[in-house]
Amino acid sequence: MNPLNPRYPPCTPTTYDPAPGKDAKVQGTVQGVVKVTGVHTTFTIDPATLGVYDYTLTGAPAPDRMVTSPTVVFQSKVPTLTAAQLAGPVLELQVRDDTLVALFRTAGGKLKVQAKDAPQGGIFQMEPEFASNVTLTHTLGPTLFYFVNPFTGKVNFGNGVDAVSPAQSSTGYHQMLLGKDSPQVATKTLQTGSVTTWSVASGGRMGGVLGEDAIELSQGATNCTQDCQAQNRIRGSLPVPPDPTNPTPIGG
């Protein structure tokens, strides 16, 4: 995941971009936003809220890409925390190849962000650990919407744009943009066409899954409250239904 820029205004941003197979580790008080820029994904973490903003697929060339130009998948993923819970954030950061782990410790608890720079798969999760349940609010990007997949009966999100094969366009090919929220020890409390809210137990997590893994006929994540991992794609080990046709936004 290259590069990663913790910003400390008004100073010049510091960039961390380790060589392949090497780690970059950072620990210290956070004074500005953390901007993550990868080949396939970009996003920002704001220590003032412990929220993730503008989670974007870049559309960089890849056989399994789902967009051909930068597309905001999530406008925000934000925990509801008090000023006391957010006070005094300290960052422990590790970047290695295409993976990132950012652990924010505060006066009231901690929140871990794990991310993988890939065009699809289980590539993102947030794991809050505070004294009580934390509400996480997910807001989709402006071109995306939640819908009920007619083939699985489950809630997915996407932009409704059909896939384009390499035979149809050697430069404009892409798979259909499909994803789902992946809860672990978390309960959905709101669902609209563009927003979900979740009550996440301490040590539980909210993950994000993109591509085939988002629509496969799986049973979902098992309960886990410690060292839960953002998983790689299962890559064909479970049945994958057809792409939905003309999906309808929930509430639309």
**Domains delineated in the chain:** 4-214 (2.70.98)
First to last CA, the chain: 37
Alpha-carbon separation of residue 98 from 37, 114, 157, 169, 241 (angstroms) = 11, 11, 24, 28, 29
- Please report the DSSP string for 14-44 in residue order: P-B-PPTT-EEEEEEE--S-EEEE-SSEEEE
CA 155 – CA 131 distance, rounded (Å): 30
pLDDT of res. 106: 97
- Residue 233 has a pLDDT of 40
What is the structure's pLDDT at 223? 55
pLDDT computed for residue 234 by the predictor:
40
What is the rounded distance in angstroms from the CA atom of residue 57 to the CA atom of residue 185? 27
Q: Which sign, positive or negative, has the C-alpha torsion 59, 188, 235, 215?
A: negative
The CA-atom distances, in angstroms, between 83 and each of 14, 51, 108, 138 are 27, 14, 9, 20
pTM: 0.87
What pLDDT does residue 22 have?
Answer: 76
Mean pLDDT per segment of 10 residues, for the chain of length 252 residues?
44 72 83 93 98 98 98 98 97 94 97 97 96 98 98 96 98 98 97 98 95 81 54 54 95 83
Which residues, at least 6 apart from 13, have a Cβ–Cβ distance to it below 8 Å? 5, 6, 7, 32, 35
